[in-house]
A and B are shown apart, each in its own frame.
Chain A
Amino acid sequence: MTRFDPFGDPSLPVRLALAALVLAAAAATAGAFVADPETAAPSPVAYDDVVELGLSSETDALMAGSATIPRTQVFYSQLQYVVGYNGVESFAAALEDDRAERQFGYPVVAYVETFDDARPGTTERGLFDAELAGEWTPAPEAVYVVGSDARSPAGETVVPFRERAAAEAFTADHGGRVIDWGAVRDRSFDTDSAAAVRGMAPDRWTAADQRIAAADRRADRPVSVVVGEDAPTIGAALAAAPANTTVAVPPGTYEETLTVNESVTIAGEDARIRGDGNGSVITVRAPDVAITGVAVDGSGNETRDPDAARSGRDPEGGAWDTNIQLGYGHGDAGIRAIDAPGLFVDDVTIEASASGILLRDGSDAAVRDLRVNGTEEWQDGFMGITGMQSRVTVTDSEFAGGRDGIYLHRADDSVVRNSEFADNRYGVHLMYTSDALIADNAFRDELFGGVTVMTRPSGNAIVGNDVRNSSAGIQASGTRAYIGYNTLVGNELGFSTSSRGSLYERNVAANNELGARATTVVPSSRVVENDFVANADHAAAGAGALRVWADGGRGNYWEGANVGIHDPGERAYRPTSPVDGALHREVALVAVRESPAVALLDRLRGTVPGARSGSIIDPAPATEPYASDRVAAALDPDAGPVHADWRARSGGGEGDRNATGSNAIGTNTNAPNATKRGAATSGVADV
């Protein structure tokens, strides 16, 4: 055993080792200060592996044409993930907006995709396209063509090149001029933000009004044939009726399967059209057809084309969703429209064995006062409305049971509003559908969720909806979405922030198991002015950088955030922390929260958000709920659905209006055309 002897001279090896250790420590320390940790610029990575921000690459417009968006990949100083931007202008705009820098640090290096040897050009629709893949070039070394005729689905696009000669060759063909990186950064780009989507929501509402009004006018046609008087059956009447006239259907049950080949109005009065249990009951193959005042049942129960799944798996087959397009578009329905734009369905009840209404191939339709009763088990039936590549405008309707209340696939600009959904799988389910408005609907007891948006569309507005007792309130992926003024009560999950570059504001999440879940790995959305009350957990975060849920000095209202002895709004609130997250359930945590250990740890926590993971911080929690009346109504078990008066918000503070119990699902016994639940409904009290 060696004894420690400080007075004996150490042996040579020990002395050498000591000296070496001291030298190494000195050299390492000196090196730590001499070396610049910023200099090691990482090499570009495969774009598939980046976390994508900016324009969506999955909008219908983009997937339809084989267009290309010049891409950028950026390595931020604090962020461990490589961020990809679709569109150079998206990155330039991010640089201009200091939020990116606050959250991710500064860009250590950025690469742009240059198209020197990629044979760049434009599609016939004027979208930028390149035959080959571009190469990655550091952004400051590239040159950029601006003002050319090449466009992206969002508007002007900047096309980068490595060599000036290649850029000039491009301008010779497509116009524009060549500028360098500094000049690109100085330009201000009109990037369409989620706030712009908010601004568009009232316009979409108005557009829906106009579409419905126009359809209503079109449907008002002179009666040419009365079934039972002029013709024995509806089928015979349709054959006899000239275009732009009305076929009147008196009360009664008609056991028929119809095909409409002329632009006529079928106007029923307590009439029931009953199919034979095979195929669709009414098939519309002409434009501007109107179907009003009928009840439909007896369709087949084929939910989709059973062969589609097989043929769609063709490896050479186009988009991955061919299978869905072929399958979902080809089931049985109460009313089926194929290539029949201008369809108007008003005051119609459908007992759906498969789909209620199936729209396909540009069958843009206006639907008012529709009631679809689907199957008990969602696996047995299909959608209330299936809209495939057809713009759908739905108002004042009810969807109960079945698979999804409304399923829209590549149905840009659709509007679903003032409707009620219950016991579906999903209430409203969007795929590849952009620029839609889902507003002022009520959802109850949805098995999977109220509103779900899948794939990565852009510019959807989900506003003023009320979702209760469902698995999830709103789960919207995509980009530039606006999710505002929704009331989410008693669900397993209130809403998720799956859509990037989006705005989540003025939502009320009350009594949910989990109020909100942050999902995207790299935060790029704003989550502000939401109210979180009485949730078991207010919010949780998945993998990814620290999310800062505030914008400027505005945060969210969190019940419990202001419990304690400090001034309200003074302390940052972390709903994901075990201490803060339980403050609204257990007051004793106040004492824990004020402990020096917690205080010291919390103090600087927000300083390098990009380098942290898995949590949410609200640096400026609000002292009062933003929508206290909606919060009160949400917590009152007897109150009906609540819808914020979001269209009037430009006037200032929020005036919520509470729908009374008469509008609650299950008690609604609308007389045909009698109730149009708009802003002027009698059962709505302005508060």
Chain B
Amino acid sequence: MSGRLAGVSTVFRREIATVVRTPGYGVLAVGLLAALGGLLAAGGGGATGFVPAVVDLLLPTEALVPLVAVVLGYRALLTDAASGELAVIRTYPVRVGEYVAGVLLARLVALVAAVGVPYAAIGAVVWLTAAPDTGIFATHTGVDSPLLYLRFLAFVLLLGAAYVSLAAAVSALAASRRSAIALGSLALVAGVLGGDLVLLRSLAAGASPTTVPASIALAPNGAFRGLVFEHVIGVAFAPEGGFVSTGRAVASLVGWTLIGAVVAGVTLAYGRRVDAAVERVRREIGD
């Protein structure tokens, strides 16, 4: 392993160690599992199959997964900067890009563990327990299949990745832990509600509904919801589809992840200079 990969790998390992030593993340995963289990029990969809289970989980997931992702990411880049460790790290031959990539990768692994594992556990429970109400008639699974749940899980992780990355960007922008919490909450609310509110506003302002399949994919939540409708729940309906443009939705989720990473990197790389510039301007005005 040499050059950049070595840098990424080292930062990644260091970050993994940080994650593992944070017991709060374990509690987070357990909490998510409890919430999902509660939804499954209260909703009842999981009793008969994967598709109704996904129907029950879909809307709560839109809030829960971003929340967990933001919690995982909102301090990812802040702590090193605040403690001065980042300044130390930067004396080593590690570029900012490598540093950000390493941290983000580690946080994504944490996401897979904290979100993917509870969701997978729920899927396993459904797999083991879902059965028709009565056995006196011949039954079949319809189009219900564990594959559909696997698709759902993939979309969940894509959504989570976008939010982890955006939260990391927030953590790079924030100057203190308190402002990180504030900015993270803002990102959460903006992501979960903002995209749809903007879409609603544009429709109210006269945008053509034919643009919705494309525009709903722009916000991470809209893209996620569209993908689940299109590839998981919609499969149980006659083939019509068209809830969202699949390519755009996937590109949107991946795009948000990349945007978050780039913003984080740029902030870390040039933030000081911007700060310095701002300070200089302020001083000049003050004079």
Interface residues of A (CB under 8 A from B): 4, 6-7, 28-29, 31-33, 35, 37-38, 42, 45-46, 49-51, 75-82, 101, 105-106, 108, 521, 543-544, 597, 600-601, 603-605, 607-608, 610-615
Q: How many Å lie between the Cα of A50 and that of B56 in the bound state?
A: 28
Contact at B147–A32, with CB atoms within 8 Å?
yes
Contact at B147–A31, with CB atoms within 8 Å?
yes
Nearest CB on A from B12, distance (A): 8
**Cβ of B44 under 8 Å from chain A:** yes
Q: How many Å lie between the Cα of A458 and that of B47 in the bound state?
A: 34
**Cβ of B55 under 8 Å from chain A:** yes
Q: How many Å lie between the Cα of A611 and that of B149 in the bound state?
A: 15
User: Given that A29-B150, A49-B137, A80-B48 are contacting pairs, would A6 and B20 also be in contact in the complex, using a CB cutoff of 8 Å?
Assistant: yes
Contact at A50–B138, with CB atoms within 8 Å?
yes
A-B contact pairs, 9 of them (CB 8 A): A4-B17, A28-B150, A29-B154, A33-B231, A75-B140, A78-B144, A82-B137, A521-B137, A612-B52
Q: Name the residue of chain B whose CB is nearest to the CB of A604.
A: B55
Residue A32 contacts which of B39, B132, B151 (CB distance < 8 angstroms)?
Answer: B151
**Cβ of B266 under 8 Å from chain A:** no
Nearest CB on A from B274, distance (A): 33
User: Given that A38-B235, A601-B56, A603-B59 are contacting pairs, would A82 and B140 also be in contact in the complex, using a CB cutoff of 8 Å?
Assistant: yes
Contacts of A615 in B (CB 8 A): 44
Contacts of B42 in A (CB 8 A): 597, 601
Contact at B17–A6, with CB atoms within 8 Å?
yes
Contact at A77–B143, with CB atoms within 8 Å?
yes
User: Given that A77-B237, A604-B59 are contacting pairs, would A544 and B134 also be in contact in the complex, using a CB cutoff of 8 Å?
Assistant: yes
B residues 55-95 in Cβ contact with A at 8 Å: 55-56, 58-60
Beyond A77-B237, A108-B142, A543-B132, 14 additional contacts (C-beta under 8 Å) are A6-B17, A7-B17, A42-B140, A75-B142, A77-B236, A81-B132, A81-B137, A105-B238, A106-B237, A601-B43, A603-B59, A604-B58, A605-B45, A611-B51
Interface residues of B (CB under 8 A from A): 13-14, 16-17, 20, 39, 42-45, 47-49, 51-52, 55-56, 58-60, 132-134, 137-145, 147-148, 150-151, 154, 231, 233, 235-239
Contact at B143–A600, with CB atoms within 8 Å?
no
Contact at B139–A81, with CB atoms within 8 Å?
yes
Q: Name the residue of chain A whose CB is nearest to the CB of B58.
A: A604
Q: How many Å lie between the Cα of A600 and that of B59 in the bound state?
A: 6
Residue B233 contacts which of A79, A608, A612 (CB distance < 8 angstroms)?
Answer: A608
Contacts of B56 in A (CB 8 A): 601, 604-605
Q: Name the residue of chain B whose CB is nearest to the CB of A28.
A: B150
Q: Name the residue of chain B whose CB is nearest to the CB of A46.
A: B138
Nearest CB on B from A572, distance (A): 14
Contacts of A78 in B (CB 8 A): 51, 142-144, 236-237
Q: How many Å lie between the Cα of A279 and that of B100 in the bound state?
A: 101
Contact at B51–A80, with CB atoms within 8 Å?
no
Q: Name the residue of chain B whose CB is nearest to the CB of A605.
A: B55
Closest 10 CB pairs of A and B: A543-B133, A49-B138, A32-B150, A45-B138, A543-B134, A6-B13, A106-B238, A600-B59, A37-B145, A80-B132
Q: Which of B20, B132, B154, B239 has the most CB of A within 10 A?
A: B132
Nearest CB on A from B111, distance (A): 14
User: Given that A29-B150, A611-B144 are contacting pairs, would A82 and B139 also be in contact in the complex, using a CB cutoff of 8 Å?
Assistant: yes
Q: How many Å lie between the Cα of A544 and that of B20 in the bound state?
A: 46
Q: Name the residue of chain B whose CB is nearest to the CB of A577.
A: B44
Contact at A614–B237, with CB atoms within 8 Å?
no
Q: How many Å lie between the Cα of A28 and that of B123 in the bound state?
A: 14
Contacts of B140 in A (CB 8 A): 42, 75, 80, 82
Nearest CB on B from A255, distance (A): 56
Contact at B138–A614, with CB atoms within 8 Å?
no
Contacts of B45 in A (CB 8 A): 605, 611-612
Contact at A37–B134, with CB atoms within 8 Å?
no
Contacts of B239 in A (CB 8 A): 106
Q: How many Å lie between the Cα of A521 and that of B134 in the bound state?
A: 9
Q: How many Å lie between the Cα of A612 and that of B133 in the bound state?
A: 9
Number of A-B contacts (CB under 8 A): 141
Q: Name the residue of chain B whose CB is nearest to the CB of A48.
A: B138
User: Given that A80-B49, A611-B49, A612-B44 are contacting pairs, would A37 and B138 also be in contact in the complex, using a CB cutoff of 8 Å?
Assistant: no
Contact at B144–A81, with CB atoms within 8 Å?
no
Contact at B142–A77, with CB atoms within 8 Å?
yes
User: Given that A80-B48, A604-B55, A607-B55 are contacting pairs, would A105 and B236 also be in contact in the complex, using a CB cutoff of 8 Å?
Assistant: yes
Contact at B147–A544, with CB atoms within 8 Å?
no
Nearest CB on A from B122, distance (A): 15
Q: How many Å lie between the Cα of A7 and that of B17 in the bound state?
A: 9
Nearest CB on B from A616, distance (A): 13
Contacts of B151 in A (CB 8 A): 32-33
Q: How many Å lie between the Cα of A44 and that of B235 in the bound state?
A: 22
Q: Name the residue of chain A whose CB is nearest to the CB of B61.
A: A600
Q: Name the residue of chain A whose CB is nearest to the CB of B144.
A: A611
Contacts of A607 in B (CB 8 A): 55, 233
Contacts of B44 in A (CB 8 A): 612-615
Nearest CB on B from A11, distance (A): 15
Contact at B142–A80, with CB atoms within 8 Å?
yes
Contact at B137–A50, with CB atoms within 8 Å?
yes
Contacts of A33 in B (CB 8 A): 151, 154, 231
Q: Name the residue of chain A whose CB is nearest to the CB of B38.
A: A597
Nearest CB on B from A380, distance (A): 36
Nearest CB on B from A418, distance (A): 40
Q: How many Å lie between the Cα of A607 and that of B148 in the bound state?
A: 16
Nearest CB on A from B77, distance (A): 19
Q: Name the residue of chain A whose CB is nearest to the CB of B133.
A: A543
Residue A35 contacts which of B16, B52, B147 (CB distance < 8 angstroms)?
Answer: B147
Q: Name the residue of chain A whose CB is nearest to the CB of B116.
A: A25
Q: How many Å lie between the Cα of A76 and that of B239 in the bound state?
A: 13
Q: Name the residue of chain A whose CB is nearest to the CB of B55.
A: A604
Nearest CB on A from B94, distance (A): 15
Contacts of A106 in B (CB 8 A): 237-239
Contact at B59–A613, with CB atoms within 8 Å?
no
Q: Name the residue of chain B whose CB is nearest to the CB of A603.
A: B59
Contacts of B59 in A (CB 8 A): 600-601, 603-604
Q: How many Å lie between the Cα of A406 and that of B143 in the bound state?
A: 48
User: Given that A82-B138, A607-B55, A608-B52 are contacting pairs, would A613 and B150 also be in contact in the complex, using a CB cutoff of 8 Å?
Assistant: no
Q: Name the residue of chain A whose CB is nearest to the CB of B47.
A: A613
Nearest CB on B from A548, distance (A): 14
Nearest CB on A from B238, distance (A): 4
Q: How many Å lie between the Cα of A37 and that of B51 in the bound state?
A: 12
Contact at B52–A37, with CB atoms within 8 Å?
no
Contacts of A597 in B (CB 8 A): 39, 42, 60
Nearest CB on A from B31, distance (A): 15
Q: How many Å lie between the Cα of A204 and that of B150 in the bound state?
A: 57
Contacts of A105 in B (CB 8 A): 142-143, 236-238
Q: Which of B13, B39, B47, B237 has the most CB of A within 10 A?
A: B237
Contacts of A45 in B (CB 8 A): 138
Q: Which of B16, B39, B150 has the most CB of A within 10 A?
A: B150
Q: How many Å lie between the Cα of A593 and that of B158 in the bound state?
A: 32
Nearest CB on A from B194, distance (A): 18
Contacts of A613 in B (CB 8 A): 44, 47-48, 132-133
